[in-house]
């Protein structure tokens, strides 16, 4: 146990030096050097920042889904020559009248596991929707009112799917802004929690998250179209245009978007490019409508409505408007990240000042220093020379921990500081178990080297058991916890690994040197 080969020693001290460089990089300002540019990030509770709680409005998704199922139902009725009346949406339900003769055929279709209405059955063995048949006095005896609604399971699934999609889009938008180590997690069935450390003015983030970014290309309607039309406002004016409801192209076919500056017209624009399918659709639409105005619409607001002068076949285009470079950048970001499936509402907003964070850092640093100092004094008092080895191992353990956190560019929170303080205690515990075993062996062994060797061997199982069980707890906290709990789990888990390394490699090597130098002396512990 006490023997170290030259190769092992080189590896041990190379690891220590390597991680020490990253640890000390936190105290040096250098953004060009790869090592020195890495830092441990401070969480919201330590450096201040913004806190946002968003609520996802799933109602538009539910209404849209019901509309799609209504169309599917109508298609089925026509294909199978089933007579129906008054097929419509009302109060989050599909209502229609069926004759008595067609009720059984409808039930066979609805309860079929492979139908297009109950799409979840084959996966979850549960129906997405349910139906009710009502006899009404004001109806003909041969007719019944049929009502189709979402089941409780169906509503849960559609809300969960909406929340998952919204969470991904929100993460994309915030990541593209370049916010440092944001926390984006779900809260319940319809809420998203966002923590933005270091961000004191969240207005830009709020503007980005407040837009659904639903992009469509539609023709300006000169006359009444078959698809109908509607009056829409321009983005920054009260001017209106009559826009066809027919969507020629949507943002789903967008590959990328970026801000640009048009030197010819001296204005900021947004250039976009389309995928292969979108390019074909765009080419066909512009070829068939040369001379007409094409409206580019974002969230039911007209961004621009240029005249199609010639077919656009390259799969790219330009969005013009009264843009600043910042607004063009934000618009390009919104288009790249994709449209939100449902609107988001900010229901809670807080800003944490940096002063509170500074007080927390000071309190955490003071508590760590006091705990560290008391441990050092106790180990020196209890184990004398071996106490020095334990204290050096403790210092190295702390340096290694900070070095690994720096490499990971982890976010340090108050619970994370608590995890570091707990790691100090765990590190001491490992050395105490080892030194107590050595003391027991010194009483029965004549050889100092053999006593040290057996002390490390016999303490190994106890040290590993204690640290592995704690590591399992840290892993569980990491995967099941969120936010600050994860921060505590990360520092605790990494601290356990560095504790084992410092105890069984660094401290053991120093102990072997001490034992070799004092092999002929009587050591009193």
Mean pLDDT over 193-199 rounds to 80
Instruction: Say whether pLDDT at 34 is over 80.
Output: no
Q: How confident is the model at residue 400 (pLDDT cuts 50, 70, 90)?
A: very high
Q: How confident is the model at residue 209 (pLDDT cuts 50, 70, 90)?
A: confident
Q: What is the pLDDT of residue 201?
A: 65
Higher pLDDT, 213 or 475: 475
Q: What percent of the chain has pLDDT over 90?
A: 5
Closest C-alpha among 402, 473, 462 to residue 432:
462
- Residue 82 to residues 50, 104, 118, 133: CA-CA distances in angstroms? 57, 11, 20, 16
Tokens of 288: 């068939």
Sort 235 into a burial class: Cβ within 10 Å, 0-12 / 13-18 / 19+. Answer: middle
Mean pLDDT over 490-518 rounds to 88
Q: What is the pLDDT of residue 15?
A: 93
Sort 445 into a burial class: Cβ within 10 Å, 0-12 / 13-18 / 19+. Answer: middle
Q: What is the pLDDT of residue 2?
A: 66
Instruction: Say whether pLDDT at 368 is over 90.
Output: no
> CA 319 to CA 259: how far, in whole Å?
9
Buried b (16+ CB within 10 A) or exposed e, 254-291: beebebbeeeeeeebbbbbbbeeebbebbbebbeebee
Q: What is the pLDDT of residue 525?
A: 57
Instruction: Say whether pLDDT at 224 is over 80.
Output: no
Per residue in 284-312, pLDDT (tens digit) is 888 988 888 888 888 888 888 888 888 88
Higher pLDDT, 41 or 401: 401
Instruction: Say whether pLDDT at 135 is over 90.
Output: no
Q: How confident is the model at residue 451 (pLDDT cuts 50, 70, 90)?
A: confident
Q: What is the pLDDT of residue 10?
A: 92
pTM of the model: 0.64
Q: How confident is the model at residue 345 (pLDDT cuts 50, 70, 90)?
A: confident
Name all domains of the chain by residue range, CATH numbers in brackets: 6-45+354-517 (1.20.1640.10), 60-156 (no CATH), 215-339 (3.30.1360.200)
Q: What is the pLDDT of residue 446?
A: 66
Cβ contact 338:253 at 8 Å: no
Instruction: Say whether pLDDT at 32 is over 70.
Output: no
Q: What is the pLDDT of residue 68?
A: 83
Mean pLDDT over 498-513 rounds to 89
Q: How confident is the model at residue 67 (pLDDT cuts 50, 70, 90)?
A: confident
Query: What is the rounded end-to-end Cα distance, in angstroms, of the chain?
Result: 20
What is the edge-to-edge ordering of all strands in the sheet holding 249-250?
Answer: 249-250, 215-219, 294-298, 301-304
Mean pLDDT over 194-202 rounds to 75
Cβ contact 194:174 at 8 Å: yes
Instruction: Say whether pLDDT at 46 is over 80.
Output: no
Mean pLDDT over 496-514 rounds to 89
Of 47-56, 139-148, 498-507, the poorest mean pLDDT is in: 139-148
> CA 167 to CA 172: how far, in whole Å?
9
Question: Which residues have CB under 8 Å from 142's CB, separation 6+?
Answer: 99, 100, 101
Mean of the per-residue pLDDT values for the chain?
81
Instruction: Say whether pLDDT at 12 is over 80.
Output: yes
Q: What is the pLDDT of residue 119?
A: 65
Instruction: Say whether pLDDT at 183 is over 70.
Output: yes
Cβ contact 288:299 at 8 Å: no
Q: Is the dihedral of CA 76, 78, 84, 88 positive or negative?
A: positive
Mean pLDDT over 367-376 rounds to 82
According to DSSP, the residues that pair with 272 across neighbouring strands are 257, 317
Q: How confident is the model at residue 31 (pLDDT cuts 50, 70, 90)?
A: low
Question: Which residues have CB under 8 Å from 91's CB, separation 6+?
Answer: none
**How far is C-alpha 329 from the chain's CA centre?**
23
Q: What is the pLDDT of residue 116?
A: 66
Of 6-20, 215-229, 262-276, 456-470, the poorest mean pLDDT is in: 215-229
Q: How confident is the model at residue 70 (pLDDT cuts 50, 70, 90)?
A: confident
Instruction: Say whether pLDDT at 122 is over 70.
Output: no
Higher pLDDT, 520 or 227: 520
Q: How confident is the model at residue 14 (pLDDT cuts 50, 70, 90)?
A: very high
Instruction: Say whether pLDDT at 138 is over 60.
Output: no
Closest C-alpha among 131, 148, 48 to residue 93:
148
DSSP letter at 291?
T
Instruction: Say whether pLDDT at 408 is over 90.
Output: no
> CA 59 to CA 63: how far, in whole Å?
6
> CA 186 to CA 399: how far, in whole Å?
34
Q: How confident is the model at residue 16 (pLDDT cuts 50, 70, 90)?
A: very high
Give the number of other Cβ atoms within 10 Å of residue 422's Cβ: 17
Q: Is the dihedral of CA 324, 325, 330, 333 positive or negative?
A: positive
> CA 124 to CA 16: how far, in whole Å?
52
């Amino acid at each position: 146990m006490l023997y170290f080969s030259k190769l092992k020693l080189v590896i041990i001290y190379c690891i220590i030096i390597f991680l020490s460089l990253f640890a000390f990089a936190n105290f040096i300002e250098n953004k060009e050097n790869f090592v020195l540019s890495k830092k441990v990030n401070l969480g919201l509770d330590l450096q201040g920042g913004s806190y946002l709680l968003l609520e996802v409005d799933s109602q538009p998704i539910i209404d849209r889904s019901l509309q799609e199922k209504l169309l599917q139902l109508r298609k089925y009725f026509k294909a199978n020559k089933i007579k129906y009346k008054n097929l419509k949406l009302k109060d989050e339900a599909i209502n229609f009248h069926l004759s008595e003769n067609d009720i059984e055929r409808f039930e066979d279709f609805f309860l079929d596991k492979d139908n297009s209405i109950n799409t979840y059955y084959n996966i979850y063995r549960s129906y997405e929707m349910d139906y009710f048949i009502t006899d009404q006095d004001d109806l003909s005896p041969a007719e019944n009112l049929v009502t189709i609604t979402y089941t409780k399971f169906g509503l849960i699934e559609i809300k969960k799917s909406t929340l998952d999609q919204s969470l991904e889009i929100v993460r994309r938008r915030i990541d593209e802004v370049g916010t440092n180590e944001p926390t984006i997690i779900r809260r319940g069935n319809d809420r998203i929690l966002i923590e933005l450390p270091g961000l004191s003015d969240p207005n830009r983030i709020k503007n980005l998250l407040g837009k659904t970014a639903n992009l469509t290309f539609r023709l300006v309607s000169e006359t009444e179209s078959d698809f109908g039309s509607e009056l829409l406002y321009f983005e920054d004016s009260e001017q209106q245009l009559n826009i066809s409801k027919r969507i020629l192209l949507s943002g789903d076919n967008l590959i990328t978007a970026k801000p640009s500056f048009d030197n010819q017209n001296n204005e900021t624009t947004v250039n976009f490019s389309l995928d292969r399918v979108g390019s074909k659709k765009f080419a066909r639409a512009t070829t068939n409508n040369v001379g007409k105005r094409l409206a580019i619409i974002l969230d039911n607001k007209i961004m621009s409505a240029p005249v199609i002068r010639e077919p656009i076949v390259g799969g790219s285009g330009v969005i013009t408007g009264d843009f600043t470079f910042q607004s063009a950048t934000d618009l390009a970001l919104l288009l790249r990240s994709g449209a939100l499936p449902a609107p988001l509402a900010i229901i809670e907003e807080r800003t944490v000042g940096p002063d509170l964070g500074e007080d927390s850092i000071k309190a955490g640093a003071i508590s760590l220093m006091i705990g560290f100092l008391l441990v050092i004094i106790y180990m020196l008092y209890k184990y004398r020379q071996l106490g020095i080895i334990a204290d050096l191992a403790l210092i190295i353990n702390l340096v290694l921990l900070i070095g690994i956190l720096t490499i990971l560019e982890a976010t340090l929170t108050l619970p994370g500081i608590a995890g570091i303080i707990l790691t100090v205690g765990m590190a001491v515990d490992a050395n105490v178990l080892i030194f107590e075993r050595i003391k027991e062996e010194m009483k029965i062994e004549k050889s100092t080297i053999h006593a040290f060797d057996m002390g490390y061997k016999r303490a190994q199982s106890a040290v590993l058991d204690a640290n592995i069980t704690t590591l399992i707890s840290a892993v569980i906290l990491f995967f099941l916890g969120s936010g600050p709990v994860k921060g505590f789990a990360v520092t605790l888990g990494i601290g356990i690994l560095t504790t084992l390394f410092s105890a069984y490699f660094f401290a053991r090597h120093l102990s072997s040197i001490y034992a070799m130098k004092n092999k002929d002396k009587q050591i009193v512990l």
